[in-house]
Structure 1
Amino acid sequence: MLQFAVIFIDLDGFKAINYAHGHHVGDDYLVAVSAALAASVRRSDTVGRLGGDEFIVILNLLESMAAIANVAELLLQCLAKSFIIDDLSLSASASMGIAIYPADGDSVDTLLKTADTHMYRAKNAGGKSSRNSQRQ
């Protein structure tokens, strides 16, 4: 049994939303994204915003890599949908990186750094995707 996975998420098109519609709309969009992420995982999992357009999801007590991949795909689908903010239909794709305890590290700092590194690899590969050390 895997202990947990850390998923680092970065919204690919968020800056365009902020620039086109203002920070108030951008802030409301981030609140909607946060709620959608929280609704997409179990109550035992954790969703948090690190800052800007970066989020972290911690998945607890997972049985397999397939379970992690399924949740990651669900999160990508959740983020791909449009959110209605101030009568505007807004969407942004996301890139994510995944780190798994203990395979990718045994400390919070190491897991966050690994997940962040994998997220940047996904973003550099064109975004709208996820990466982890087990599936490259």
Structure 2
Amino acid sequence: MNQRLAHVTLLVRNYDEAIAFYTTVLGFRLTSDLDMGDGKRWVVVAPPGAAGCSLLLAEAKTDEEKQGVGRQGAGRIWLFLHTDDFWRDHPVLQSRGLRFLEIPRSEVYGHVAVFEDLYGNKWDLLEPLGD
């Protein structure tokens, strides 16, 4: 059996503002933006580099979905953006306006700093050691 995780759904307020943030600030690629009708779109963004898991952006429509925007990890770090060079990427992302919640630190597992996306979801920018 050969399986892989393809997409993680991320609730957003608005497709276009989310696309702008993820492509301009984080430098992700827009890999799909298909009109599904009735105001729905199939919008996928992915980090640069090798193929892997991507984000499926889902515009929140119901009250319950709207309450979940920015809270999908319940205040915890729940998304991990791996890089092959933390010390290259951290200042670039910072210069694009990405909000880091801490200064970079080195841990036994790698170089890391927590940041927030457009909606307040917490992420780790992480260069793993030993990968």
Q: TM-score, normalised by structure 1?
A: 0.31
Structure whose residues are more often helix by fraction: 1
Structure whose residues are more often strand by fraction: 2
- The structure whose RCO (Cα within 8 Å, separation 6+) is larger is 1
Q: TM-score, normalised by structure 2?
A: 0.32
